[in-house]
Structure 1
């Protein structure tokens, strides 16, 4: 089998360490879209948070309602700056003794540093567990069939601007069912099932599952199609949660104080985030290569946003997630480098 690593194609990529594709990225995308494939995402950083007070402690430090997160349940959370800008995003998986946080490659050190700074006298022992545990993702409609006992993920709708106090249920806004699996954990998520397994058993788990392999290129194409933001790709130093659509899965709007909460509440109640996340379609005439992350998006020569993740989709062609100024009209004629782009009206 041909294996092309991410670093073979882009030595500077933050996603180095996993396969970009296995020789046929278009076929791999179709597998993820119509059946099930296994994507090695073992380059993600993992933080372990054991300790009796972990749930209440994480509840006070992050955007998510975690004080009553039960064993074998997962969710998502953000860490914000004092001004409400997104600094960290992680999936949390609770197994009854430890809360496992998996985050973007390279982001773990910053998350762990923040957690260690906020320990004080709390009975928690956060540590870097990246060398212990690896993330593998089963993606596609067939993933649920491999773990039929895991309930479908639940993500609450974002409430209206003038909701009443106590109207939002006092639990995490996203709830992902979890079970034990091969010395680790399996977590049902919107794109399929994520596996958090001992790193030493990674190869054995892949072989035992016997699921077709798909590279990160295919995973990213499916993620972009489903409008799912990624920390560091669809965020910059001033992104607030509402701009990148992190509110529904990762922000509880009525759980009390946490760092950055004032900005989140003000923007939500005004209903006017300065920017918004959109899906762009490219004409594919000027260039057959998707633009790089961070490439400016312009309107009549004026910069109005930036490209997050751009991919070549097996059905949609060249598409990208982009963060644009809120006042850019849906029918605006946009330019990205030499390419013409249009906002997906859906």
Structure 2
């Protein structure tokens, strides 16, 4: 149960409010900046103390040491091999850093951070009772919220996915990235019961996220994920900051190699009523080449999905198998198979091909040996 459960028309699906009666209409209203989304699947974490920014900067993928009050960004915590363990939105308010994490990751994230405190002047606290709402800024919804401001700065996190962040890099090769209009934001509100509609559910928010190719910890991350595979360097990795855990893998794959898997967008045949679910296999012929990570029914594009594919998966049409039904899928490449090896790294001439320097001691006065 949450503070949002008393909202009229709320229909729950597990831990989330899935919709308020009509997900497609809700999605249009959300995209136009009119609707608010109760985020019962996100958790707020407060990192307080005077060392907070430098401390976070020392072991996360993002450069946060210089964040000014009111600035938003995103970070990843990687394991020593560069695989994604945790992800969070980041908002600095001048006295605390506020992290917004997927509910399934929040407890482990907090426990990990608390183990990393050592002698740093930092405290880490999960604010599990905080009410979070999602919205697209620039419309009526933004005017209907009053974000909490415990230290004088409104807690409104603006998703950085809309454009490539300083120090980041985009692998997607496209004339117009679908995230260009993705003004998704998350607000912390004090009085959730006083919010007024229209409201939208998780189905609407997820459809717009999938259409923007936006990765999420709860869907696109597994035990093998590195940030390159889902183009996450775009918003959550600063390639020019100092060392941090997993940085060697990030630099190596970006500069010299290619990620073993790649994220793709799929436009699905809508003639069947079956919508894939995360984990459904993606096939090329009868060969499995990947798995669905997210799927949704978009108000304009129809059924769409994100899938993590093998780097060697063909770039043409594929098939998704769900509930025994084969669904034709037109593929749109997000991360190309040749992503990585982007830096102009100087190559040394092989030793065997170098000219041998002449030793003057072997020469006679007339130049003969």
State the TM-score bracket (shorter-chain normalisation): 0.7 to 0.9
CA distance in 1, matches of 2:280, 2:236: 27
Please, what TM-score do these two structures have when normalized by structure 2? 0.76
Which structure 2 residue ranges, 5 or more long, are not aligned?
1-7, 146-153, 172-180, 335-369
Which structure 1 residue ranges, 5 or more long, are not aligned?
8-15, 162-188
Is 1:336 aligned with 2:321?
Answer: yes
Q: Cα distance, 1:333 vs. partner?
A: 3.0
Partner of 1:185: none
CA distance in 1, matches of 2:258, 2:333: 19
Contact 1:306–1:322, Cα closer than 8 Å, also in 2 = yes
When residues 71 and 141 of structure 1 are mapped into structure 2, their CA distance, relative to the original with a 3 A threshold, is: closer
Q: Cα distance, 1:143 vs. partner?
A: 5.9
Is 1:137 aligned with 2:134?
Answer: yes
Contact 1:296–1:305, Cα closer than 8 Å, also in 2 = yes
Partner of 2:231: 245
Counterpart secondary structure, 1:321: strand
Q: Cα distance, 1:144 vs. partner?
A: 8.6
Partner of 2:296: 311
Q: Cα distance, 1:33 vs. partner?
A: 2.4
Q: Cα distance, 1:43 vs. partner?
A: 3.0
User: What is the root-mean-square deviation of aligned Cα atoms in Å?
Assistant: 2.4
Q: Hey, which bits of structure 1, 4+ residues long, moved more than 6 A?
A: 149-152
Contact 1:43–1:134, Cα closer than 8 Å, also in 2 = no
What does residue range 155-170 of structure 1 map to in structure 2 within 5 Å? Answer: 155-156=164-165, 158-159=168-169
Partner of 1:67: 65
Partner of 1:236: 222
Partner of 1:290: 275
CA-to-aligned-CA distance 1:117-174 (integer Å, 9 cap, x gap): 111100001111112x221012265269749x9999664274499xxxxxxxxxxxxx
Counterpart secondary structure, 2:222: coil
Larger Rg: 2
Q: Cα distance, 1:282 vs. partner?
A: 1.2
Counterpart secondary structure, 2:189: strand
CA-to-aligned-CA distance 1:31-90 (integer Å, 9 cap, x gap): 122342100013312211100000000001210001111111111000011111111110
Partner of 2:20: 22
CA-to-aligned-CA distance 1:76-122 (integer Å, 9 cap, x gap): 00001111111111001111111111100121111011111111100
Q: Cα distance, 1:192 vs. partner?
A: 3.4
Please, what TM-score do these two structures have when normalized by structure 1? 0.81
Partner of 2:118: 120
Partner of 1:221: 207
Partner of 2:344: none
Contact 1:280–1:343, Cα closer than 8 Å, also in 2 = yes
Is 1:191 aligned with 2:183?
Answer: yes
Q: Cα distance, 1:30 vs. partner?
A: 1.3
Partner of 1:301: 286
Contact 1:144–1:192, Cα closer than 8 Å, also in 2 = no
What does residue range 203-218 of structure 1 map to in structure 2 within 5 Å? Answer: 203-204=193-194, 206-207=195-196, 211-218=197-204
Is 1:31 aligned with 2:21?
Answer: no
